């Protein structure tokens, strides 16, 4: 809908954003079960064996909702540009930690894809917000390297 309506879609953001932000913040349900426990995977759970004795499970139903929400946030930021600026800070706080979300590749990809669009949405607003977002992004990208460097130096 956002792609079709274009910039006029910003009038609907106060209605669509609260549930969308909640969905993007869904925490995955996970479980650690013994291998001899009979667990039905058709209940929306996927299990991966960790050892002979244990399996790690993730409930996939919530992940699909989270993925859809993240994809929509990318679309809104891309299409609305500065019209999305009011929500940029909230979305940055959701998306940056998702760069390390290991349960779903598409969620991690959406988080990475959103970053340039989020920066673009605030570049014409106030410089402090643009700089803050840029610093957060750079820090999130460099954090794995910082850990390696601290071991070396």
d(CA 69, CA 116): 18
Distance CA 153, CA 145 (A): 12
Dihedrals phi, psi of 136, to nearest 5 degrees: -60, -45
Check residue 134 and give its pLDDT.
63
Question: In a 3-state reduction of DSSP, which class is residue 56?
Answer: strand
Q: Are 101 and 142 in contact (CB under 8 A)?
A: no
pLDDT of 125 reads: 65
- The pLDDT assigned to 150 comes to 54
Mean pLDDT over each residue of the chain, to the nearest integer: 82
Tell me, what's the pLDDT at 12?
Answer: 94
What pLDDT is recorded for position 146?
A: 57
- pTM of the complete model: 0.78
Q: What is the mean pLDDT of each run of 10 residues along the chain (153 residues)?
A: 88 96 92 71 74 82 92 96 90 89 91 89 68 63 57 49
Q: Cα dist. 10→85, 117, 122, 136, 150 in Å? A: 10, 16, 15, 25, 45
């Amino acid at each position: 809908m956002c792609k079709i309506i274009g910039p006029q879609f910003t009038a609907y953001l106060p209605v669509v954003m609260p549930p969308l932000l909640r969905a993007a913040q869904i925490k995955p349900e996970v479980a650690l079960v013994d291998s001899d426990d009979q667990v039905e995977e058709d209940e929306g759970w996927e299990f991966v064996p960790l050892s002979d004795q244990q399996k790690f499970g993730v409930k996939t139903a919530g992940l699909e909702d989270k993925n859809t929400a993240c994809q929509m946030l990318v679309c809104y930021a891309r299409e609305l540009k500065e019209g999305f600026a009011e929500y940029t800070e909230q979305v940055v706080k959701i998306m940056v930690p998702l760069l390390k979300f290991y349960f779903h590749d598409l969620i991690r990809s959406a988080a990475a894809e959103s970053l340039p669009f989020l920066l673009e949405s605030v570049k014409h607003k106030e410089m402090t917000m643009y700089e803050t977002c840029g610093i957060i992004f750079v820090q999130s990208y460099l954090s794995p390297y910082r850990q390696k460097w601290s071991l070396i130096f």
